[in-house]
Amino acid sequence: MGLKKCPNCGSDRIGRGKLSGYAALQPVGKALSFGSAIIADVCSDCGFIFNMYAEKPEKFIPR
Ligand SMILES: [Zn+2]
């Protein structure tokens, strides 16, 4: 596991952000279920957001 680098400016000062609440990612077709928060890596130098992923990917298992 190497250091993450910002694809925009090359900085390695990468923080981690979390989108939750109304911005959470909802499984399509399961409007009433709770979704998953979104975790994202954020460059603390330029603010670029990259590598977004679901906190609970098991909620998106296709049937
Ligand atoms: Zn950056």
pLDDT value for 34 = 74
CA of 12 to the centre of ligand 1 (A): 8
Tokens at 2, concatenated? 């190497």
Residue 53 pLDDT > 50: yes
Residue spans per domain, the chain = 15-55
Tell me which residues have their CB within 5 A of the ion that is ligand 1.
Answer: 6, 8-9, 11, 43, 45-46, 48
Residue corresponding to tokens 């975790």: 39
Kindly give the distance from the C-alpha atom of residue 54 to the centroid of ligand 1, in angstroms, as a whole number. Answer: 22
- CB atoms inside a 10 Å sphere around CB 36: 20
- Grouping H, G, I as helix, E, B as strand and the rest as coil, residue 32 is coil
Instruction: Give the Å distance between the CA of 26 and the centre of ligand 1.
Output: 28
pLDDT digits (tens, 9 = 90+) for 15-52: 999 988 776 888 887 666 678 999 999 999 999 999 99
Enter the pTM of the model.
0.72
Here the tokens at position 5 are 């680098």
